Amino acid sequence: MQKIHVPVKLPESVEGKEVTVLGIESTSHTLGVGVLRFSRGSVEILANISSQYKPEKGGIHPREASQHHMKNAPTVLREALGKAGVSMRDINTVAVAVGPGIGPCLRVGATIARFLSKYFNIPLTPVNHAVAHIEIGKLFSGFNDPVIVYVSGGNTMVLVQKNSQYRVMGETLDIPLGNLFDTFTREIGIAPPYVVDGKHAIDVCAEWSQEFQPLPYTIKGNDLSFSGLLTAALKLAKEANGGKESLGRICNSLRETAFNMLIEVSERVLALTNKKQLLLVGGVASNKVLRWKMETLTSIYNVKYYGTPPDVAGDNGVMIAYTGLLLYLYGRTSKPEETHVKQRYRIDEEAYPWL
Amino acid sequence: MALSSESNLWGAEAVIYIGEFLGRKVVIKKRRSKQYRHPVYDTIFIQARTRNEAKILAELYAAGLKVPAPLLVDVEKGALVMEYIEGERLSEKLADIEARELVEIAWDIGRQSALMHNRKIYHGDLTIANIIYSGRGVYIIDFGLAGYSTDIEEHAIDIHLLQKSIYSLYPHLLKPFMESYFKAYREYYSGSFDEIMYKLREISTRGRYIDRELRRSVMRERYVG
Q: What is the 3-state secondary structure (H, E, C) of chain B?
A: CEEEEEEEEECCCEEEEEEEECCEEEEEEEECCCCCCCHHHHHHHHHHHHHHHHHHHHHHHHCCCCCCCEEEEECCCCEEEEECCCCEEHHHHCCCCCHHHHHHHHHHHHHHHHHHHHCCEECCCCCHHHEEEECCEEEECCCCCCEECCCHHHHHHHHHHHHHHHHHHCHHHHHHHHHHHHHHHHHHCCCCHHHHHHHHHHHHCCCCCCCHHHHHHHHHHHHHC
For A106-129, the pLDDT digits (tens) are 999 999 999 999 999 999 999 999
Q: Is B129 on the interface with A (CB under 8 A)?
A: yes
First to last CA, chain B: 60
Interface of A with B (CB under 8 A): 99-100, 154-155, 157, 167-168, 171-174, 176, 211-212, 214, 219-221, 223, 252, 256-257, 260, 263-264, 267-268, 270-272, 292-293, 296-297, 300-301, 343-346
Comparing CB atoms, the residue among A174, A214, A297 nearest residue B36 is: A297
Q: Which helix (H) or strand (E) holds A238?
A: helix A227-240
How confident is the model at residue B168, as a pLDDT?
Answer: 79
How confident is the model at residue A290, as a pLDDT?
Answer: 93
Backbone angles phi, psi at A320, to 5 degrees: -70, -40
Contact check, Cβ <8 Å, B12/A268: yes
The CATH number assigned to the domain holding A205 equals 3.30.420.40
Examine the domain organization and report whether A127 and A7 are in the same domain.
yes
Asked if residue B4 has pLDDT above 80, the reply is no
Mean pLDDT calculated for residue range B145-174: 90
Active site members of B: 125
**In total, how many domains does chain A have?**
2
Mean pLDDT calculated for residue range B39-57: 92
Contact check, Cβ <8 Å, A263/B36: yes
Examine the domain organization and report whether A125 and A175 are in the same domain.
no
All residue ranges of chain A with pLDDT < 50 are none
Nearest CA in chain A to B123: A221
Q: Is B9 on the interface with A (CB under 8 A)?
A: no
How confident is the model at residue A80, as a pLDDT?
Answer: 96
Contact check, Cβ <8 Å, B209/A173: no
Q: Is B25 on the interface with A (CB under 8 A)?
A: no
Examine the domain organization and report whether A9 and A124 are in the same domain.
yes
Q: How far off is chain A from B44, nearest CA to CA, in Å?
A: 8
Chain B partners within 8 Å of A218 (Cβ): none
Examine the domain organization and report whether A129 and A163 are in the same domain.
no
What are the DSSP calls for A150-201, one per residue?
A: EESSS-EEEEEEETTEEEEEEEBSSS-HHHHHHHHHHHTT--SS-EETTEEH
Examine the domain organization and report whether A152 and A128 are in the same domain.
no
CB A135 within 8 A of CB A282: no
Q: Is B92 on the interface with A (CB under 8 A)?
A: no
Res. B10 pLDDT band, cuts 50 70 90: low
Contact check, Cβ <8 Å, A256/B41: yes
∠A324-A328-A333 over CA atoms, to 5°? 95
Examine the domain organization and report whether A18 and A122 are in the same domain.
yes
Count of CB pairs separated by less than 8 Å, A with B: 78
Q: In the listed set A274, A301, A327, which residue is the last one of a domain according to the structure?
A: A274
Q: What ipTM, to 2 d.p.? A: 0.77
Asked if residue B7 has pLDDT above 50, the reply is no
Mean pLDDT calculated for residue range B160-175: 88
- Domain-embedded: residue A318: yes
Q: In the listed set A274, A295, A328, which residue is the last one of a domain according to the structure?
A: A274
Q: Which CATH number fits domain B88-224: 1.10.510.10, 2.40.160.10, 3.30.750.24, 3.30.465.10?
A: 1.10.510.10
Task: Report domain extents, chain B.
Answer: 2-83, 88-224
Comparing CB atoms, the residue among B35, B125, B207 nearest residue A173 is: B207
Q: In the listed set A255, A274, A293, which residue is the last one of a domain according to the structure?
A: A274
How confident is the model at residue B88, as a pLDDT?
Answer: 92
Q: How far off is chain A from B125, nearest CA to CA, in Å?
A: 5
Examine the domain organization and report whether A64 and A101 are in the same domain.
yes
Asked if residue B214 has pLDDT above 70, the reply is no
A112-116, B8-12, B40-44: range with lowest mean pLDDT: B8-12
Examine the domain organization and report whether A268 and A330 are in the same domain.
no
User: Which residues form the domain of A187?
Assistant: 147-274
Chain A partners within 8 Å of B41 (Cβ): 212, 214, 256-257, 260
What is the third-level CATH fold of B2-83? Phosphorylase Kinase; domain 1 (3.30.200)
- Domain-embedded: residue A85: yes
Contact check, Cβ <8 Å, B207/A171: yes
Q: How far off is chain B from A216, nearest CA to CA, in Å?
A: 12
Asked if residue B6 has pLDDT above 50, the reply is no
For A2-51, the pLDDT digits (tens) are 789 999 999 888 888 899 999 999 999 999 999 999 998 999 999 999 99
Contact check, Cβ <8 Å, A221/B125: yes
Contact check, Cβ <8 Å, A173/B206: yes
Asked if residue B2 has pLDDT above 80, the reply is no
Res. B5 pLDDT band, cuts 50 70 90: very low
Examine the domain organization and report whether A265 and A153 are in the same domain.
yes
Mean pLDDT calculated for residue range B125-138: 90
Chain A partners within 8 Å of B126 (Cβ): 221
How confident is the model at residue A191, as a pLDDT?
Answer: 78
CA–CA gap between residue B109 and residue A65 (Å, rounded): 51
- Domain-embedded: residue A32: yes
When scoring A167, A180, A220, A276 by the number of chain B Cβ atoms within 10 A, the one with the most, hence best to mutate, is A220
- Domain-embedded: residue A284: no
- Domain-embedded: residue A215: yes
Asked if residue B225 has pLDDT above 60, the reply is no
